[in-house]
Amino acid sequence: MAWLGILNYWIFVLLLMTGMYAIVAKGNLIKKLIGLGICQSAVFLLFISMGKVVGGTAPILDGSDRAYSSPLPQVLILTAIVVGISTMALALAVVVRIRESFGSIEEADVYGKEAEA
Amino acid sequence: MIAAHHLPVLQVVLPLVAAPLAVLCPGTRAPWVAAVLVSLAAFAIAVTLAFKVATTGAIAYELGGWPVPYGIGLHIDNFSSLMLLLITGASLAALLHGKPVIDKEVQSRPVSLFYGAWLLAVAGLAGMVVTGDAFNVFVFMEISSLATYVLIAAGPTRTAFSAVFKYIIMGSIGAMFYLIGVGLVYMMTGTLNMADMAARLHGVDDVVPVLAAAGFITVGLLLKAAIFPLHAWMPNAYAAAPSTVAVFLAACSTKVALYVLIRFDLGIFQPSLEGHDIQFSAFLMPFALVAMITGSLIAIFEKDLKRLLAFSSVAQLGYIVLGASLLTAAGMSAGILHLFNHALMKAALFLAVGSLVYRYGSAKLADLAGAGRAMPWTMAAFTVAALSLVGVPLTAGFISKWYLVLAAMEEGTFGWFLIAVILASSLLAVIYVWRVIEVAYFRPAPEGAPAVKEAPWYLLAPTWALAGLNIYFGLAANAPNGLAARAAADLLGGGA
Closest CA to A114 of A89, B362, B173, A106: A106
Looking at the predicted complex, does its ipTM rise above 0.90?
A: yes
| Contacts for B326 with CB less than 8 Å, ≥ 6 apart | B281, B285, B332, B335, B407, B408, B410, B411
Judged by a CB distance cut-off of 8 A, whether residue A38 touches chain B is no
Average of per-residue pLDDT across B335-357: 91
The distance of B414 to chain A (nearest Cα, Å) reads 38
Per-residue pLDDT tens for B347-384? 999 999 999 888 888 888 888 888 888 888 888 999 99
SS3 A28: strand
A114 touches chain B (CB under 8 A): yes
Give the SS3 label for residue B61: strand
User: Do residue B142 and residue A98 have CB atoms under 8 angstroms apart?
Assistant: no
CA distance B308 to A94: 26
Whether the CB-CB separation of B270 and B280 falls below 8 Å is answered with yes
pLDDT of A18 reads: 94
State the pLDDT at residue A2: 62
The total number of structural domains that make up chain B: 1
How far is it, in rounded angstroms, from Cα B429 to Cα B297?
A: 8
Chain B residues in contact with A46 by the CB 8 A cut-off are: 180, 183
What pLDDT does residue B212 have? 87
Cα B57 from Cα B63, distance rounded (Å) = 19
Distance (Å) from the alpha carbon of A30 to chain B's nearest alpha carbon: 11
B259 vs B494, higher pLDDT: B259
pLDDT: is A47 or B412 the higher one? A47
Contact list in B for residue A6 (CB cut-off 8 A) is none
pLDDT of residue A16: 93
CA distance B125 to chain A (A): 16
Average pLDDT, rounded, for chain A: 86
pLDDT digits (tens, 9 = 90+) for B189-229: 888 888 888 888 887 778 888 888 888 999 999 999 888 88
For the residues A66-91, what does the mean pLDDT come to?
A: 89
Report domain A14-52+69-116's class.
mainly alpha
Rg value, chain B, Cα: 21
User: Quick one: pLDDT at residue A91?
Assistant: 94
Dist CA A92 CA A79 (whole Å): 20
CA distances from B445 to B54, B369, B449 (A): 51, 5, 7
**Helix B112-130, helix B29-56: angle, nearest 10:** 10
Q: What is the mean pLDDT of residues B469-481?
A: 84
| Cβ neighbours for B188, distance < 8 A, ≥ 6 positions apart | B201, B204, B206, B209, B210, B213
Kindly tell me the sign of the dihedral angle through the C-alpha atoms of B106, B108, B109, B115: negative
Q: Which of B32, B37, B7, B253 is nearest to B124 (CA)?
A: B253
Domain containing B438 equals 2-492
The CA–CA distances, whole Å, from B267 to B7, B331, B444, B456, B495 equal 24, 15, 53, 46, 6
- Please determine, for residue B496, whether its predicted confidence score (pLDDT) is greater than 50: no
Which of A68, A83, A88 to mutate to test binding with chain B, by most B CBs within 10 Å of its CB? A83
Q: Which of A73-77, B109-113, B321-325, B463-467 has the lowest mean pLDDT?
A: B109-113
- Domain-wise residue ranges, chain A: 14-52+69-116
Task: Specify the amino acid at residue B412.
Answer: G
Average pLDDT score over residue span B304-316 = 91
Nearest to B146 among A32, A72, A90 (CB): A90
Residue B445's contacts (CB-CB under 8 Å, 6 or more residues apart) are B369, B370, B373, B374, B452
The 8-class DSSP code of residue B395 comes to S
Q: Report chain B residues whose CB lies below 8 A from the CB of A90.
A: 146, 149-150, 168
Percent of chain B whose pLDDT exceeds 70: 98
- Contact at 8 Å (CB) between A113 and A105? no
| Shortest CA distance from B192: residue in chain A | A72
CA dist., res. B401 & res. B407, Å (int): 10
